[in-house]
A and B are shown apart, each in its own frame.
Chain A
């Protein structure tokens, strides 16, 4: 063989090898369609467990559109790469997952591939769901397959080339999808491990609370350091937490279960849906999540404890901090906010003392701007926290002045930059948010009835 021919055949082999390798990475077989299983074929106890797991997984939040049918999808999920619409996961045979076998469902959960063999975008958090056990996948499958089927064809995603090509996702997975289910830590208690299993897996807390890199993958080095979701900031829930008082296991449990905590305030924005869901699941799972998360926050440092004590003292004797009502922001606070936020009524039916507000100590004013604009809407038919929105009565300049004042008066952090721009953006996204988010489908747990199925 002559030299050029050797080179040519080597190149050909390499090319062929590359094609085969790429094929192996990208290609996934279809899993055979099944006749939709009869709902009665699933054990009621399994379905019930699936319901609890689906609530912990917050499935309804992404898969139920405002005024839409439960789990019928169509929720626009804004990402830096474009808008992705959630699919229909009801058992409708043609537009839902009615023809998916349990194996197909498990493959989707574990490796983000649909029944037909197409790669799913990682907006579906299979990088977390890979941790879910076969047993729990079976329960989730049983739950979804016994929901009412709704016909709702998938909406086309709004992604630019090349991201609209699903094979690109295969490359993403090669980089960021670590397979394997959750490995218990033997040095920790069973309860801690249960919490870790749920948090790292089905509950996918990091999907919102961990920052993402330029390719949209969670940064493992910055686990729980705070992320972005739907124009809200998901706070850091580790040692970098901006919360004025440190989180404890009890506070976390109360907050996650009831939707509010006296030291930290009321869950709102996308977190309200999470706590509404957690009000309906077995209490011990929420306790386990709280216990694990408390260990992620870690014990507070001496500095943090000292700050917390100073904050508590300041709340007891507010005269130490004179109100500066001579500015526009101060005047607005005194006239519009103080009535509720300085009342002595207890949470959750009054405003939190703003010294305790995480929003005002947060790295940017997004959440505070959102809440001033749209307030907190009460849950239909339930007793629940409420705050009027001020979008119609305050201009952007007035809200900016108010935010700057609140930051200066109630947090120990440096002034925010770019408040005006944040308020303008928040006003734009507020309208969209109110139109697309589902109504909270449950209330934070009250002392009565919530544990019963």
Chain B
């Protein structure tokens, strides 16, 4: 049994310590936002946030996560109460098939927490590891800029900003 903190809650995990975080999230905790894409850390669909930084969960075994805090898209917001990053992606209609979008949002979220006003070039550089086959890159770029503006406006309370510590 391993203790793993996900979205602010401690979980007792039964999977073996060498299980990739992605499998733990999807199979054991039924958190299905992070997607299995390549399983080799090459596409970014499985991106989640660990201690504030974007991490590829398919190549991150459970045993690396002792004492660390995992945040998944489910931890940012919900359908009823979307986080700014989710609202922005919806408002820009940034998803086509949508498979890459959860990973895109998580990496963008990590960037915005570190750098609330990124330039276009910084967003492009940051999201480079995440692939999108549909080609909605320009909308994704716009969505990240929009999320930056949303997070900056006073109408949202800190908890609504998808505040990850």
Contacting residue for B18 out of A335, A377, A393, CB 8 A: A335
A299 at the binding interface (Cβ < 8 Å)? no
Interface residues of B in 20-70 (CB under 8 A from A): 20, 39-42, 50, 53-56, 59-61, 63-64
B75 at the binding interface (Cβ < 8 Å)? no
Asked whether A339 and B64 contact (CB < 8 A) given A388-B59, A392-B55, the answer is no
In the bound assembly, the distance between CA atoms of A325 and B64 in angstroms comes to 14
Interface size on B, residues (CB 8 A): 21
A398 touches B64 (CB 8 A): yes
Distance between B127 CB and nearest chain A CB, rounded to angstroms = 13
In the bound assembly, the distance between CA atoms of A340 and B59 in angstroms comes to 10
Residues of chain B within 8 A of A335, CB atoms compared = 17-20, 61, 63
- Chain A interface residue bracket vs B: 20 to 34
Contacting residue for A393 out of B40, B55, B121, CB 8 A: B55
A331 touches B40 (CB 8 A): no
A388 touches B18 (CB 8 A): no
Contacting residue for A336 out of B42, B59, B121, CB 8 A: B59
Residues of chain A within 8 A of B40, CB atoms compared = 339-340, 388
A-B pair count, CB < 8 Å, reads 50
Q: Mark A368-405, 1 if CB is under 8 A from B, else 0.
A: 00000001010010000011101011110010000000
Contacting residue for A334 out of B18, B39, B55, CB 8 A: B18
In the bound assembly, the distance between CA atoms of A377 and B128 in angstroms comes to 9
B129 touches A388 (CB 8 A): yes
B50 touches A392 (CB 8 A): yes
A332 at the binding interface (Cβ < 8 Å)? yes
Distance between B107 CB and nearest chain A CB, rounded to angstroms = 10
B41 touches A332 (CB 8 A): no
Distance between A341 CB and nearest chain B CB, rounded to angstroms = 11
Closest residue of chain A to B40, judged by CB?
A340
Residues of chain A within 8 A of B53, CB atoms compared = 392
In the bound assembly, the distance between CA atoms of A398 and B53 in angstroms comes to 17
A135 at the binding interface (Cβ < 8 Å)? no
Closest residue of chain A to B41, judged by CB?
A388
B41 touches A67 (CB 8 A): no
B18 touches A331 (CB 8 A): yes
Residues of chain B within 8 A of A393, CB atoms compared = 50, 55-56, 59-60, 64
In the bound assembly, the distance between CA atoms of A377 and B55 in angstroms comes to 15
Residues of chain B within 8 A of A67, CB atoms compared = 121
A336 touches B39 (CB 8 A): no
A331 touches B56 (CB 8 A): no
A336 touches B60 (CB 8 A): yes
Closest residue of chain A to B129, judged by CB?
A388
Interface residues of B in 112-165 (CB under 8 A from A): 121, 128-129
Q: List 11 A-B contacts (CB under 8 A).
A: A328-B63, A331-B17, A332-B63, A335-B18, A335-B20, A336-B64, A339-B39, A388-B40, A388-B56, A392-B55, A393-B50
Residues of B within 8 A of A (CB): 17-20, 39-42, 50, 53-56, 59-61, 63-64, 121, 128-129
Nearest first, the 9 closest Cβ-Cβ pairs linking A and B are: A388-B41, A335-B61, A335-B18, A392-B53, A393-B60, A393-B55, A392-B55, A388-B56, A386-B42
